[in-house]
């Protein structure tokens, strides 16, 4: 009688950035997968990305082609790790050859949040004093807030979430604009002073969701990762990413979105704004959620007809000049 030797269960290596928020997100993914597949070992491997290392330059001036993802992607292509967990808003819409977006997890609140210095705890964003110093590292937030609140002073803020909050509390800023989801994941929801209404600031593409990236030819892993995908979030984020890709925008351009699903229908709203907030085009499309990517392309074309490409071309020229 021939004995059958079964191969030991596979060990799957998860890549993550080293920041506190990145690790919280990665350990959450690890726990969900371990729950679904108890016989498989999931190991976390950490790496530093370019965006983690350069903390004294505004994000838009560094360029955003894989600023927080490239080193992880090289690790996958070199077989050092099997998949990577990203904040989906940091993941470029065009991935390197050989890699794919395998799953998108259920979204936390995608909105932006106002976090204030203690002296402004009785204020909302529309009652902060003239000249209030607002910290943000996002051109998207900057452009939309300048449009509504030209009397504020805006100042770049870099570093991880803890560092940014320390700068706020030390009085360097009157308020910060941060992703509500990041604060929630770090169990710091008490610092959310106000959720910024979507009428004032549309959120970033993919904000609040996690994107799981892996090698496109790893069919076993692709099947496993579908266990943590959230279909409604996937459809919303695919529409948003298609919109951004169609406008050839990166993570650091003033493009904002909002998506809602009702039954089988998906509604996608998008905005493109100039950095000074003077020019702004905005529109909405609705269609079948299964055609999410087509909706993104449709909305991009609508905004192009309204001057979006000219606004973006001006922004790219300014960034390239290093202004």
- Residue 51, token pair as written in the block: 């965006």
Could you give the angle at which helices 231-246 and 292-305 cross, rounded to 10 degrees? 30
**How remote is the C-alpha of 141 from its chain's centroid?**
13
| Cβ 70 vs Cβ 50: under 8 Å | yes
Computed from CA positions of residues 242, 21, 201, 111, in that sequence, does the dihedral angle turn out positive or negative?
positive
DSSP string spanning 212-251?
A: EEEETT-HHHHHHHGGG--HHHHHHHHHHHHHHHHTT--T
Among 54, 256, 59, smallest CA distance to 156 is for 59
Query: H-helix or E-strand containing 34?
Result: helix 20-36
Please count the CA atoms within 13 angstroms of the CA of 181 that sit on its side-chain side: 20
Active site residue 39: no
Beta strand ranges found along 48-119 (DSSP E): 83-87, 99-104, 112-116
Q: Which of 90, 112, 174, 235 is catalytic?
A: 90
- The count of other CB atoms within 10 Å of the CB of residue 9 is 11
- Residue 297, token pair as written in the block: 């392309």
Residues labelled as active-site residues: 90
């Amino acid at each position: 009688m021939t004995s059958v030797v079964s191969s030991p269960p596979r060990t799957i290596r998860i890549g993550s950035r080293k920041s506190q928020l990145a690790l919280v997100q990665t350990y959450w993914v690890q726990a969900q997968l371990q729950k679904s597949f108890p016989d498989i070992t999931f190991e976390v491997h950490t790496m530093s990305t370019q965006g983690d290392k350069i903390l004294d330059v505004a994000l838009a001036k560094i360029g955003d082609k894989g600023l927080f993802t490239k080193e992880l992607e090289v690790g996958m292509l070199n077989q050092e790790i099997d998949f990577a967990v990203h904040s989906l808003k940091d993941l470029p819409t065009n991935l390197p050859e050989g890699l794919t977006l395998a799953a998108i997890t259920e979204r936390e609140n995608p909105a932006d949040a106002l976090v204030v210095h203690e002296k402004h705890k009785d204020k909302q964003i529309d009652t902060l004093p003239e000249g209030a110093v607002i910290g943000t590292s996002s051109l998207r937030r900057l452009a939309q807030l300048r449009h509504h609140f030209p009397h504020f002073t805006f100042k770049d803020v870099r570093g991880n979430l803890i560092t940014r909050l320390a700068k706020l509390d030390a009085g360097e800023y009157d308020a910060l604009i941060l992703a509500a989801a990041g604060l929630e994941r770090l169990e710091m929801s008490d610092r959310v002073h106000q959720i910024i209404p979507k009428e004032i600031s549309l959120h970033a593409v993919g904000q609040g969701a996690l994107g799981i990236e892996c090698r496109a030819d790893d069919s076993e892993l692709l099947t496993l990762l579908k266990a943590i995908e959230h279909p409604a979030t996937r459809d919303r984020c695919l529409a948003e990413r298609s919109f951004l890709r169609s406008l050839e925008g990166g993570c650091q351009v003033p493009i904002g979105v909002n998506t809602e699903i009702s039954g089988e229908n998906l509604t996608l709203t998008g905005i493109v704004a100039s950095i000074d907030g003077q020019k702004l085009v905005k529109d909405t499309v609705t269609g079948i959620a299964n055609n999410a990517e087509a909706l993104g392309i449709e909305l991009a074309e609508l905004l192009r007809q309204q001057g979006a490409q000219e606004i973006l071309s001006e922004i790219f020229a300014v960034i390239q000049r290093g202004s």
